[in-house]
Structure 1
Protein backbone atom coordinates (compact mmCIF):
# COMPACT_ATOMS: atom_id res chain seq x y z
CA UNK A 1 0.00 0.00 0.00
CA UNK A 2 1.36 3.41 -1.00
CA UNK A 3 1.84 6.26 1.43
CA UNK A 4 2.66 9.80 0.47
CA UNK A 5 6.26 9.25 1.53
CA UNK A 6 6.50 6.40 -1.00
CA UNK A 7 5.73 8.71 -3.93
CA UNK A 8 8.33 10.44 -6.09
CA UNK A 9 9.23 13.62 -4.16
CA UNK A 10 9.91 15.39 -7.46
CA UNK A 11 6.20 15.41 -8.29
CA UNK A 12 4.79 18.93 -8.20
CA UNK A 13 1.09 18.18 -8.65
CA UNK A 14 -1.51 15.45 -8.31
CA UNK A 15 -4.67 14.94 -10.36
CA UNK A 16 -7.62 13.05 -8.87
CA UNK A 17 -10.87 11.75 -10.27
CA UNK A 18 -13.76 12.47 -7.91
CA UNK A 19 -16.23 9.57 -7.80
CA UNK A 20 -14.99 6.43 -6.07
CA UNK A 21 -11.54 7.94 -5.74
CA UNK A 22 -11.89 10.73 -3.21
CA UNK A 23 -15.21 9.54 -1.78
CA UNK A 24 -17.67 6.65 -2.41
CA UNK A 25 -20.09 7.82 -5.12
CA UNK A 26 -22.94 5.74 -3.71
CA UNK A 27 -23.05 8.06 -0.71
CA UNK A 28 -24.34 10.79 -3.01
CA UNK A 29 -26.60 8.67 -5.20
CA UNK A 30 -28.32 6.88 -2.31
CA UNK A 31 -29.27 10.20 -0.73
CA UNK A 32 -30.71 11.35 -4.06
CA UNK A 33 -32.69 8.10 -4.27
CA UNK A 34 -34.03 8.75 -0.77
CA UNK A 35 -35.18 12.24 -1.76
CA UNK A 36 -36.76 11.02 -5.01
CA UNK A 37 -38.56 8.09 -3.37
CA UNK A 38 -39.84 10.37 -0.59
CA UNK A 39 -41.19 12.80 -3.20
CA UNK A 40 -42.88 10.10 -5.31
CA UNK A 41 -44.11 8.26 -2.24
CA UNK A 42 -45.75 11.40 -0.91
CA UNK A 43 -47.24 12.32 -4.30
CA UNK A 44 -48.58 8.87 -5.15
CA UNK A 45 -49.13 7.59 -1.60
CA UNK A 46 -46.71 4.70 -2.15
CA UNK A 47 -44.21 2.95 0.11
CA UNK A 48 -41.07 5.02 -0.33
CA UNK A 49 -38.88 2.55 1.62
CA UNK A 50 -39.63 -0.23 -0.87
CA UNK A 51 -38.83 2.13 -3.74
CA UNK A 52 -35.49 3.06 -2.17
CA UNK A 53 -34.63 -0.64 -1.87
CA UNK A 54 -35.45 -1.15 -5.56
CA UNK A 55 -33.23 1.76 -6.56
CA UNK A 56 -30.29 0.71 -4.38
CA UNK A 57 -30.50 -2.88 -5.65
CA UNK A 58 -30.53 -1.63 -9.25
CA UNK A 59 -27.47 0.53 -8.53
CA UNK A 60 -25.54 -2.44 -7.15
CA UNK A 61 -26.66 -4.93 -9.77
CA UNK A 62 -26.78 -2.86 -12.97
CA UNK A 63 -25.13 0.48 -12.25
CA UNK A 64 -26.30 4.05 -11.80
CA UNK A 65 -27.50 4.44 -15.40
CA UNK A 66 -30.11 1.68 -14.95
CA UNK A 67 -31.73 2.98 -11.76
CA UNK A 68 -34.51 5.16 -13.13
CA UNK A 69 -35.52 2.72 -15.86
CA UNK A 70 -35.73 -0.07 -13.28
CA UNK A 71 -37.91 1.85 -10.87
CA UNK A 72 -40.02 3.28 -13.70
CA UNK A 73 -40.85 -0.22 -14.97
CA UNK A 74 -41.56 -1.65 -11.54
CA UNK A 75 -43.86 1.19 -10.47
CA UNK A 76 -45.16 2.28 -13.89
CA UNK A 77 -43.94 5.80 -13.19
CA UNK A 78 -45.20 8.55 -15.43
CA UNK A 79 -42.56 10.02 -17.77
CA UNK A 80 -42.77 13.38 -16.00
CA UNK A 81 -40.94 11.87 -13.02
CA UNK A 82 -37.84 11.40 -15.12
CA UNK A 83 -37.29 15.15 -15.20
CA UNK A 84 -37.69 15.30 -11.42
CA UNK A 85 -35.11 12.54 -11.07
CA UNK A 86 -32.62 14.21 -13.41
CA UNK A 87 -33.03 17.52 -11.60
CA UNK A 88 -32.37 15.87 -8.25
CA UNK A 89 -29.31 14.04 -9.58
CA UNK A 90 -27.79 17.32 -10.69
CA UNK A 91 -28.89 19.81 -8.04
CA UNK A 92 -30.14 17.98 -4.94
CA UNK A 93 -29.26 19.40 -1.55
CA UNK A 94 -28.45 16.08 0.09
CA UNK A 95 -29.13 15.82 3.84
CA UNK A 96 -25.72 14.47 4.88
CA UNK A 97 -22.22 15.67 4.00
CA UNK A 98 -20.21 13.37 1.74
CA UNK A 99 -17.13 12.09 3.56
CA UNK A 100 -13.76 11.52 1.93
CA UNK A 101 -12.10 8.14 2.22
CA UNK A 102 -9.87 8.50 5.26
CA UNK A 103 -6.75 7.47 3.33
CA UNK A 104 -7.51 10.05 0.65
CA UNK A 105 -8.09 12.76 3.26
CA UNK A 106 -4.71 11.92 4.79
CA UNK A 107 -3.05 11.96 1.36
CA UNK A 108 -4.57 15.31 0.38
CA UNK A 109 -3.53 16.86 3.67
CA UNK A 110 0.05 15.64 3.22
CA UNK A 111 0.15 17.04 -0.33
CA UNK A 112 -1.00 20.43 0.95
CA UNK A 113 1.54 20.45 3.77
CA UNK A 114 4.24 19.67 1.20
CA UNK A 115 3.04 22.66 -0.87
CA UNK A 116 2.17 20.63 -3.95
CA UNK A 117 -0.77 21.36 -6.25
CA UNK A 118 -4.03 19.38 -6.24
CA UNK A 119 -6.35 19.12 -9.23
CA UNK A 120 -9.67 17.35 -9.56
CA UNK A 121 -10.34 16.23 -13.13
CA UNK A 122 -13.70 14.52 -13.26
CA UNK A 123 -15.83 12.96 -15.97
CA UNK A 124 -19.60 13.31 -15.96
CA UNK A 125 -22.25 16.02 -16.07
CA UNK A 126 -20.46 19.18 -14.87
CA UNK A 127 -23.50 20.44 -12.95
CA UNK A 128 -23.84 17.15 -11.09
CA UNK A 129 -20.12 16.87 -10.39
CA UNK A 130 -20.02 20.43 -9.05
CA UNK A 131 -22.98 19.65 -6.80
CA UNK A 132 -21.13 16.65 -5.38
CA UNK A 133 -18.04 18.78 -4.75
CA UNK A 134 -20.18 21.32 -2.87
CA UNK A 135 -21.53 18.59 -0.58
CA UNK A 136 -18.20 16.98 0.32
CA UNK A 137 -16.73 17.66 3.75
CA UNK A 138 -13.30 18.88 2.66
CA UNK A 139 -11.98 19.66 6.13
CA UNK A 140 -10.55 22.97 4.92
CA UNK A 141 -8.92 21.49 1.81
CA UNK A 142 -11.34 23.25 -0.55
CA UNK A 143 -9.04 26.28 -0.58
CA UNK A 144 -6.27 24.19 -2.17
CA UNK A 145 -8.25 22.48 -4.93
CA UNK A 146 -8.49 23.41 -8.60
CA UNK A 147 -11.35 21.60 -10.32
CA UNK A 148 -11.79 20.78 -13.99
CA UNK A 149 -14.77 19.08 -15.63
CA UNK A 150 -13.47 16.89 -18.42
CA UNK A 151 -16.79 16.99 -20.30
CA UNK A 152 -16.28 20.74 -20.85
CA UNK A 153 -13.11 19.93 -22.79
CA UNK A 154 -13.22 16.27 -23.84
CA UNK A 155 -14.14 13.37 -21.53
CA UNK A 156 -11.49 10.93 -20.39
CA UNK A 157 -9.94 8.66 -21.66
CA UNK A 158 -9.10 11.41 -24.16
CA UNK A 159 -6.08 13.27 -22.75
CA UNK A 160 -7.16 16.77 -23.84
CA UNK A 161 -8.22 17.93 -20.37
CA UNK A 162 -4.99 16.64 -18.85
CA UNK A 163 -2.99 18.45 -21.52
CA UNK A 164 -4.99 21.57 -20.65
CA UNK A 165 -3.96 21.33 -17.00
CA UNK A 166 -0.31 20.89 -17.95
CA UNK A 167 -0.45 23.90 -20.24
CA UNK A 168 -2.42 26.29 -18.01
CA UNK A 169 -0.37 25.52 -14.91
CA UNK A 170 3.00 25.42 -16.66
CA UNK A 171 3.72 21.82 -15.67
CA UNK A 172 5.72 19.10 -17.39
CA UNK A 173 4.42 15.55 -17.71
CA UNK A 174 7.07 14.33 -15.27
CA UNK A 175 5.74 16.79 -12.67
CA UNK A 176 2.33 15.15 -12.49
CA UNK A 177 0.78 12.00 -11.00
CA UNK A 178 -2.80 10.99 -11.76
CA UNK A 179 -4.86 8.95 -9.27
CA UNK A 180 -8.03 7.24 -10.44
CA UNK A 181 -10.15 4.11 -10.24
CA UNK A 182 -11.33 3.48 -13.78
CA UNK A 183 -9.89 2.36 -17.09
CA UNK A 184 -10.69 5.83 -18.45
CA UNK A 185 -8.32 7.38 -15.93
CA UNK A 186 -5.49 4.96 -16.65
CA UNK A 187 -5.82 5.30 -20.42
CA UNK A 188 -5.94 9.09 -20.12
CA UNK A 189 -2.72 9.12 -18.08
CA UNK A 190 -1.02 6.78 -20.53
CA UNK A 191 -2.06 8.90 -23.51
CA UNK A 192 -0.71 12.03 -21.83
CA UNK A 193 2.51 10.34 -20.69
CA UNK A 194 1.72 10.96 -17.01
CA UNK A 195 2.41 8.57 -14.11
CA UNK A 196 -0.71 6.82 -12.81
CA UNK A 197 -1.77 5.16 -9.56
CA UNK A 198 -5.02 3.41 -8.68
CA UNK A 199 -7.11 4.21 -5.63
CA UNK A 200 -6.42 0.70 -4.35
CA UNK A 201 -2.70 1.42 -4.29
CA UNK A 202 -3.58 3.63 -1.31
CA UNK A 203 -6.62 1.83 0.17
CA UNK A 204 -6.68 -1.80 1.22
Structure 2
Protein backbone atom coordinates (compact mmCIF):
# COMPACT_ATOMS: atom_id res chain seq x y z
CA UNK A 1 0.00 0.00 0.00
CA UNK A 2 1.39 3.39 -0.98
CA UNK A 3 1.68 5.52 2.13
CA UNK A 4 1.25 8.66 0.08
CA UNK A 5 -2.46 7.91 -0.28
CA UNK A 6 -2.85 9.10 3.33
CA UNK A 7 -1.80 12.64 2.40
CA UNK A 8 -2.98 13.21 -1.16
CA UNK A 9 -5.68 15.59 0.10
CA UNK A 10 -3.59 17.08 2.94
CA UNK A 11 -1.56 20.29 3.08
CA UNK A 12 0.76 19.40 5.94
CA UNK A 13 2.00 16.45 7.99
CA UNK A 14 3.08 16.53 11.64
CA UNK A 15 5.55 13.96 12.98
CA UNK A 16 6.86 13.02 16.41
CA UNK A 17 10.57 12.27 16.56
CA UNK A 18 11.37 9.14 18.63
CA UNK A 19 10.27 5.83 17.11
CA UNK A 20 8.52 7.71 14.32
CA UNK A 21 11.36 9.17 12.28
CA UNK A 22 14.09 6.94 13.74
CA UNK A 23 14.40 4.36 16.53
CA UNK A 24 14.96 6.04 19.90
CA UNK A 25 17.28 3.19 20.85
CA UNK A 26 19.72 4.25 18.12
CA UNK A 27 20.37 7.37 20.20
CA UNK A 28 20.26 5.83 23.66
CA UNK A 29 22.56 2.90 22.91
CA UNK A 30 25.19 5.30 21.61
CA UNK A 31 24.84 7.38 24.78
CA UNK A 32 25.39 4.22 26.86
CA UNK A 33 28.41 3.33 24.75
CA UNK A 34 29.92 6.78 25.33
CA UNK A 35 29.22 6.60 29.06
CA UNK A 36 30.90 3.21 29.36
CA UNK A 37 33.92 4.55 27.46
CA UNK A 38 34.03 7.53 29.83
CA UNK A 39 33.97 5.23 32.88
CA UNK A 40 36.72 3.11 31.37
CA UNK A 41 38.85 6.21 30.87
CA UNK A 42 38.22 7.75 34.31
CA UNK A 43 37.93 4.65 36.50
CA UNK A 44 39.87 2.03 34.52
CA UNK A 45 36.84 -0.27 34.43
CA UNK A 46 36.46 -2.35 31.27
CA UNK A 47 33.83 -0.69 29.06
CA UNK A 48 32.62 -3.82 27.25
CA UNK A 49 30.81 -5.52 30.17
CA UNK A 50 29.23 -2.18 31.11
CA UNK A 51 27.98 -1.65 27.55
CA UNK A 52 26.60 -5.19 27.41
CA UNK A 53 24.84 -4.82 30.76
CA UNK A 54 23.28 -1.46 29.88
CA UNK A 55 22.07 -2.65 26.51
CA UNK A 56 20.48 -5.80 27.95
CA UNK A 57 18.93 -3.90 30.85
CA UNK A 58 17.53 -1.25 28.50
CA UNK A 59 16.09 -3.80 26.07
CA UNK A 60 14.52 -5.83 28.87
CA UNK A 61 13.38 -3.12 31.29
CA UNK A 62 13.68 0.26 29.59
CA UNK A 63 15.45 3.37 30.86
CA UNK A 64 14.00 3.50 34.38
CA UNK A 65 16.77 3.42 37.00
CA UNK A 66 19.34 2.34 34.44
CA UNK A 67 22.19 4.35 35.91
CA UNK A 68 21.49 3.09 39.43
CA UNK A 69 21.38 -0.54 38.30
CA UNK A 70 24.61 -0.14 36.33
CA UNK A 71 26.34 1.69 39.18
CA UNK A 72 25.41 -1.07 41.61
CA UNK A 73 26.51 -3.81 39.22
CA UNK A 74 29.94 -2.31 38.52
CA UNK A 75 30.66 -0.24 41.63
CA UNK A 76 30.36 3.11 39.82
CA UNK A 77 30.33 6.19 42.03
CA UNK A 78 27.00 8.05 42.30
CA UNK A 79 28.78 11.28 41.25
CA UNK A 80 28.87 9.98 37.67
CA UNK A 81 25.08 10.26 37.41
CA UNK A 82 25.74 13.87 36.40
CA UNK A 83 27.87 12.76 33.46
CA UNK A 84 25.33 10.10 32.50
CA UNK A 85 22.51 12.67 32.41
CA UNK A 86 24.64 15.25 30.62
CA UNK A 87 25.52 12.79 27.86
CA UNK A 88 21.79 12.33 27.17
CA UNK A 89 21.59 16.05 26.43
CA UNK A 90 24.76 16.80 24.48
CA UNK A 91 26.41 13.55 23.36
CA UNK A 92 28.46 13.75 20.18
CA UNK A 93 27.36 10.50 18.60
CA UNK A 94 29.86 8.21 16.88
CA UNK A 95 27.24 7.45 14.22
CA UNK A 96 24.55 9.67 12.73
CA UNK A 97 20.92 8.79 13.39
CA UNK A 98 19.29 7.37 10.28
CA UNK A 99 15.65 7.83 9.36
CA UNK A 100 13.57 4.72 8.82
CA UNK A 101 13.91 4.03 5.09
CA UNK A 102 10.18 4.18 4.36
CA UNK A 103 9.80 7.37 6.40
CA UNK A 104 12.64 8.98 4.45
CA UNK A 105 10.98 8.08 1.16
CA UNK A 106 7.60 9.27 2.47
CA UNK A 107 9.03 12.64 3.57
CA UNK A 108 10.85 13.08 0.26
CA UNK A 109 7.55 12.51 -1.52
CA UNK A 110 5.93 15.14 0.71
CA UNK A 111 8.58 17.67 -0.29
CA UNK A 112 8.23 16.89 -4.01
CA UNK A 113 4.47 17.45 -3.70
CA UNK A 114 4.92 20.68 -1.72
CA UNK A 115 3.39 19.42 1.51
CA UNK A 116 4.56 21.17 4.68
CA UNK A 117 6.43 19.09 7.27
CA UNK A 118 6.32 19.78 11.00
CA UNK A 119 7.92 17.99 13.92
CA UNK A 120 6.21 18.35 17.30
CA UNK A 121 8.26 16.55 19.90
CA UNK A 122 7.92 15.92 23.63
CA UNK A 123 10.82 15.35 26.02
CA UNK A 124 13.76 17.50 27.05
CA UNK A 125 14.17 20.19 24.35
CA UNK A 126 17.99 20.16 24.57
CA UNK A 127 18.08 16.40 24.11
CA UNK A 128 15.58 16.42 21.26
CA UNK A 129 17.49 19.19 19.49
CA UNK A 130 20.70 17.21 19.92
CA UNK A 131 19.04 14.27 18.16
CA UNK A 132 17.82 16.49 15.33
CA UNK A 133 21.30 17.97 14.82
CA UNK A 134 22.80 14.49 14.55
CA UNK A 135 20.26 12.97 12.20
CA UNK A 136 21.09 12.31 8.56
CA UNK A 137 18.24 14.21 6.92
CA UNK A 138 19.38 13.75 3.31
CA UNK A 139 18.59 17.38 2.55
CA UNK A 140 15.16 17.36 4.22
CA UNK A 141 16.27 19.62 7.09
CA UNK A 142 15.53 22.80 5.12
CA UNK A 143 11.87 21.77 4.87
CA UNK A 144 11.30 21.07 8.57
CA UNK A 145 9.61 23.26 11.17
CA UNK A 146 10.15 22.01 14.73
CA UNK A 147 8.19 22.63 17.94
CA UNK A 148 9.29 21.45 21.41
CA UNK A 149 6.29 20.96 23.69
CA UNK A 150 8.25 21.44 26.94
CA UNK A 151 9.88 24.62 25.70
CA UNK A 152 6.52 26.10 24.71
CA UNK A 153 4.73 24.84 27.82
CA UNK A 154 1.80 23.69 25.68
CA UNK A 155 0.14 20.37 25.04
CA UNK A 156 0.56 18.72 21.67
CA UNK A 157 -3.11 19.37 20.93
CA UNK A 158 -2.59 23.11 21.50
CA UNK A 159 0.47 23.16 19.24
CA UNK A 160 -1.37 21.16 16.57
CA UNK A 161 -4.20 23.71 16.70
CA UNK A 162 -1.76 26.62 16.44
CA UNK A 163 -0.15 25.06 13.38
CA UNK A 164 -3.55 24.74 11.74
CA UNK A 165 -4.50 28.31 12.66
CA UNK A 166 -1.20 29.74 11.40
CA UNK A 167 -1.73 28.04 8.05
CA UNK A 168 -5.48 28.72 7.80
CA UNK A 169 -6.24 25.01 7.60
CA UNK A 170 -8.99 22.80 8.95
CA UNK A 171 -8.16 19.53 10.74
CA UNK A 172 -9.05 17.41 7.70
CA UNK A 173 -6.28 19.16 5.71
CA UNK A 174 -3.53 17.82 7.98
CA UNK A 175 -2.25 14.48 9.26
CA UNK A 176 -0.38 13.47 12.42
CA UNK A 177 2.08 10.56 12.30
CA UNK A 178 2.87 9.21 15.76
CA UNK A 179 3.93 6.07 17.59
CA UNK A 180 1.88 5.91 20.78
CA UNK A 181 -1.57 6.30 22.31
CA UNK A 182 -0.75 9.74 23.70
CA UNK A 183 -0.09 11.18 20.23
CA UNK A 184 -3.34 9.66 19.02
CA UNK A 185 -5.33 11.10 21.94
CA UNK A 186 -3.87 14.57 21.42
CA UNK A 187 -4.80 14.42 17.73
CA UNK A 188 -8.35 13.31 18.46
CA UNK A 189 -8.86 16.25 20.84
CA UNK A 190 -8.96 18.55 17.81
CA UNK A 191 -10.24 15.99 15.28
CA UNK A 192 -6.93 15.66 13.45
CA UNK A 193 -6.52 12.55 11.30
CA UNK A 194 -3.87 10.27 12.82
CA UNK A 195 -1.90 7.25 11.71
CA UNK A 196 0.66 5.12 13.50
CA UNK A 197 4.07 5.43 11.87
CA UNK A 198 4.14 1.66 11.34
CA UNK A 199 1.42 2.13 8.71
CA UNK A 200 4.03 3.80 6.52
CA UNK A 201 6.30 0.78 6.72
CA UNK A 202 3.76 -1.61 5.19
Q: Same fold by TM (over 0.5)?
A: yes
CA–CA distance in 1 between the matches of 2:191 and 2:144?
A: 23
Q: CA RMSD in A?
A: 1.5
Query: Equivalent residue for 1:16?
Result: 15
Q: Where in structure 2 are there 5+ consecutive unaligned residues? A: none
Query: Equivalent residue for 2:197?
Result: 199
Q: 1:161 aligns with which of 150, 159, 180?
A: 159
TM-score normalised per structure 1: 0.93
Query: Equivalent residue for 2:28?
Result: 29
Query: Equivalent residue for 1:118?
Result: 117
Q: Where in structure 1 are there 5+ consecutive unaligned residues? A: none
Q: Is the 8 A contact 1:123 1:155 kept in 2?
A: no
Q: CA deviation at 1:155?
A: 6.3
Question: Would you say how many aligned residue pairs link Structure 1 and Structure 2?
Answer: 202
CA–CA distance in 2 between the matches of 1:36 and 1:3?
A: 39
1:112-191 matches, within 5 Å, as 112-154=111-153, 159-191=157-189
Q: Deviations over 1:71-104 (max 9, x none)?
A: 1221232221111011110001101111100000
Change (3 A) 1:107 1:8: closer
TM-score normalised per structure 2: 0.94
1:41-52 matches, within 5 Å, as 41-52=40-51
1:90-101 matches, within 5 Å, as 90-101=89-100
CA–CA distance in 2 between the matches of 1:135 and 1:19?
A: 13
Moved over 6 A (4+): none
